[in-house]
Amino acid sequence: MLDGATTRFLVVVNHEGQYSVWPEDREPPAGWRPHGTRGTRAECLEVIRTHWDDMRPLSLRSTFEEGGA
């Protein structure tokens, strides 16, 4: 079990612009890449909170911005 107070994490992002936290000592899962932020779980979640202001996947946001359905 991971301890959020002592385990180091990194922020990862996928091609849809969705963010998550991932243990720093593990390779990000397929389809995810490091965002550049590392720290405690709380620090990483704060970065996600400030950067991820639209929870819709990028493909859905693009459809709406182009005047789609």
Domain boundaries, the chain: 9-65
Question: pLDDT (tens digit, 0 to 9) for every residue of the chain, 69 residues total?
Answer: 566 567 999 999 999 999 999 999 999 999 999 999 999 999 999 999 998 887 776 676 666 666 655
Calpha distance 40→56 (Å, rounded):
26
Which tokens hold the place of 21?
């936290």
pTM above 0.85, yes or no: no
User: What is each CA distance from 40 to 19, 31, 32, 62, 64, in whole angstroms?
Assistant: 15, 23, 19, 32, 35
CATH class for the region spanning 9-65: alpha beta
Q: How many CA atoms lie within 13 A of 69 on its CB side?
A: 2
Q: Are 19 and 11 in contact (CB under 8 A)?
A: yes
